[in-house]
A and B are shown apart, each in its own frame.
Chain A
Amino acid sequence: MPNFELGKYAIYIVPAYAVAGVVIVIAVAETLLRTRRWKREALRLEALKASKEKG
């Protein structure tokens, strides 16, 4: 079972894990949002191009 009694070193261990958690969450979110945004933009422009070619 996990042991969360860290004693006097808690002030070093907890912030290290917290910083890592924050950085990882930001990296995942930024990666997913960025990719989604460019995919949406590319598909929008492709549709625009197709409609121009038709009309």
Chain B
Amino acid sequence: MITVLANPQRFLAFSRVAAPILGVLAAVSCLAALWLGWSVPDDYQQGSTIRLLFLHVPCAITGMFIYACLAGSAFFGLVFRHSLADAAARAAAPLGAAVSFLGLVTGSFWGRPMWGAWWVWDARLTSYLILFLFFVGYMALQASMDDETKADRASGILALVGAINLPIVYFSVEWWKSLHQGQTLFEPGKMAAVYEWPAFLMLGAFYAGFGALWLVRIRGEIWRRRAQALAVQGSR
């Protein structure tokens, strides 16, 4: 599959069909998750703030997933020197920054009423902030270099270094005493089924939405590189 899509023309043909399908899937799942999520009864401890679960948790998990996609693409770009892999890494970074920013902000809005603080230097929060900073650092490094090949290589290495942070984010609630609650969504029986449905639907919506936007952004990168190559040819 990866080898087939590594050809830009084939990728453009594939993404022209796949991106709208994923976009529609994301919109439908999001609407269903919002309907279900706003229909659930209040939690006996957290009251109506349980509605933030359906936003915060999908944002936080998707942010990590996007970083894994970014690091995977950067790895392929570094090892196989494939321009489409570099384009994929470039395309993922702004989306990852936006989603992880939302993870932090929505978590803050949940933390204030539950913990009494907008922010605490807890292991989960701090490691997640570092994840967000890696997205921003990746984009800053890309923007700081005129030579795109060098920029892709340098930022690719940064992306791989940042991948070390992913298991730290995930296991932070187990490795350290944390104010943040432990794993809930993927632990059977830890959450009432009535809350699980909207949470998983919204997670599906975020994954599909990211998939759609990622494909469109990679298309944009392919067009940008083609336009810049033609502009260079034209100026000769």
Query: Once the chains bind, are B102 and A20 in contact (CB under 8 Å)?
Result: yes
How many residue pairs link A and B with beta carbons under 8 A? The number is: 99
Nearest chain A residue, comparing its CB with the CB of B36: A2
Could you tell me the dominant secondary structure of chain A's interface residues? helix
Query: Once the chains bind, are A6 and B220 in contact (CB under 8 Å)?
Result: no
Query: Once the chains bind, are B101 and A23 in contact (CB under 8 Å)?
Result: yes
Nearest chain B residue, comparing its CB with the CB of A13: B51
Contacts A7-B48, A20-B55, A49-B234; is A13 near B227 (CB within 8 Å)? no
B30 → A minimal CB distance (Å):
9
Q: Pick out which of these stretches binds chain A: B123-131, B133-141, B167-175, B211-219.
A: B211-219
Could you tell me the dominant secondary structure of chain B's interface residues? helix
Query: Once the chains bind, are A39 and B223 in contact (CB under 8 Å)?
Result: yes
Among the listed B49, B59, B94, B226, which residue makes an inter-chain contact with A20, where contact means beta carbons less than 8 Å apart? Answer: B59
Nearest chain B residue, comparing its CB with the CB of A34: B220
Q: Which residues of B contact A23 (CB under 8 A)?
A: 98, 101-102
A53 → B minimal CB distance (Å):
11
Query: Once the chains bind, are A6 and B48 in contact (CB under 8 Å)?
Result: yes
Which residues of B line the A interface, CB within 8 A? Answer: 34-35, 38-39, 47-49, 51-52, 55-56, 59, 94-95, 98, 101-102, 105-106, 109-110, 112-113, 209, 213, 216-217, 219-220, 223-224, 226-227, 230-231, 233-234
